Structure 1
Amino acid sequence: MIEVTQTIALDEGEIEIVAIRASGPGGQNVNKVSSAVQLRFPALASPSLPDGVKARLPAIAGSRMTKDGTIVITAQVYRDQERNRADAIARLVDLIRRAAYRPPPRRPTRPTLASKRRRVEAKTRRSGIKSLRGKPDAE
């Protein structure tokens, strides 16, 4: 079990990790070794995640989530597979931890009387400035 928060833990059997070849520079070794890691986690179908987290996850995951609700994370920062695997899992946990945070509900407020008066006075002042820009009267 991978602990995300005190109430959320992911089953390691749900996560699919595949070794792939890393792109970029690396000399002759880059063509022979599969050191990059691609992690796939079916988030929307996972029984480990509460409904609220599943609802917030697509907005936070963005392009890392496919249309069917699978999160795909590719890790190729390090030159060895184990560190890339740990990095991919850490990034998944961070993503789910951010989705687990529920923002407080917004309480609508009304403007104060003083702020309404300041707004009207500023509009009056501005309209006075603009009226002076016109052509002078024929008088």
Structure 2
Amino acid sequence: MAPLTISNSVTIPEEEIELTAIRAQGAGGQNVNKVSSAIHLRFDIRGSSLPEIYKERLLVQRDRRINSDGVIVIKAQRFRTQEKNRDDALERLREIIKAAMVTQKKRRPTKPSKNSQKRRLDSKAKHGKHKALRGRVRED
């Protein structure tokens, strides 16, 4: 297994990722009872060689896959083969780490323009007049 590449400058050595083959859940007939095709991935954030900024952002994230000890736990059992599940688990780990580094753009509050406010009020007045015409016709 080669190191997991996160970005051009960040990679995770294979020794830091613990992969265990386990039996998959669900339907599958006799095969599911005798073949360990699911993969259980564990990655210790605090004990890893990730840069500090990555570690801080991952530990602050509210993700159910990151436990209180700072360990990412992923169970991959989507595919029937162990190799595909292994690749799936590693890809999901890469996505979690990349998602932690995405920063939200700061929102600048804006105000509606004078012209848009005028158009809105004109539209409301026009709609109100139109609705007023729907009333009963009174004979005087």
Q: Give the TM-score, by structure 2 length.
A: 0.72
Q: For 2:90, what is the secondary structure of its paired residue?
A: helix
Q: For 2:78, what is the secondary structure of its paired residue?
A: coil
Contact 2:58 2:97 in 1 (8 A): no
Instruction: Give the deviation of 1:5 after TM superposition.
Output: 1.7
Matched with 2:37 is 35
Contact 2:41 2:89 in 1 (8 A): yes
Matched with 1:53 is 57
Aligned residues: 135
| Structure 1 residues 99-121: Cα deviation after superposition (integer angstroms, max 9, x where no partner) | 31222222222212211111111
* Distance in 1 separating the partners of 2:66 and 2:128: 51
Instruction: Give the deviation of 1:12 after TM superposition.
Output: 3.8
* Distance in 1 separating the partners of 2:129 and 2:38: 66
Contact 1:4 1:93 in 2 (8 A): yes
Matched with 2:78 is 77
Query: Is 1:111 the counterpart of 2:112 in the alignment?
Result: yes
Q: Which runs of 5+ in 2 are unaligned?
A: none
Q: For 2:41, what is the secondary structure of its paired residue?
A: strand
Instruction: Give the deviation of 1:8 after TM superposition.
Output: 3.5
Higher-helix-fraction structure: 1
Matched with 1:26 is 28
Instruction: Give the deviation of 1:69 after TM superposition.
Output: 4.8
**CA RMSD, 1 decimal:** 3.0
| Structure 1 residues 39-84: Cα deviation after superposition (integer angstroms, max 9, x where no partner) | 23344x46525266327742xxx44344555433221133332321
> Judging changes above 3 Å, is the alpha-carbon distance between structure 1 residues 30 and 131 closer, same or farther for their aligned structure 2 residues?
same
Q: For 1:64, what is the secondary structure of its paired residue?
A: coil
Q: For 1:97, what is the secondary structure of its paired residue?
A: helix
Contact 1:57 1:96 in 2 (8 A): no
Instruction: Give the deviation of 1:21 after TM superposition.
Output: 0.8
> Judging changes above 3 Å, is the alpha-carbon distance between structure 1 residues 135 and 7 closer, same or farther for their aligned structure 2 residues?
farther
> Judging changes above 3 Å, is the alpha-carbon distance between structure 1 residues 55 and 126 closer, same or farther for their aligned structure 2 residues?
farther
* Distance in 2 separating the partners of 1:119 and 1:112: 11
Instruction: Give the deviation of 1:23 after TM superposition.
Output: 2.1
* Distance in 1 separating the partners of 2:125 and 2:6: 56
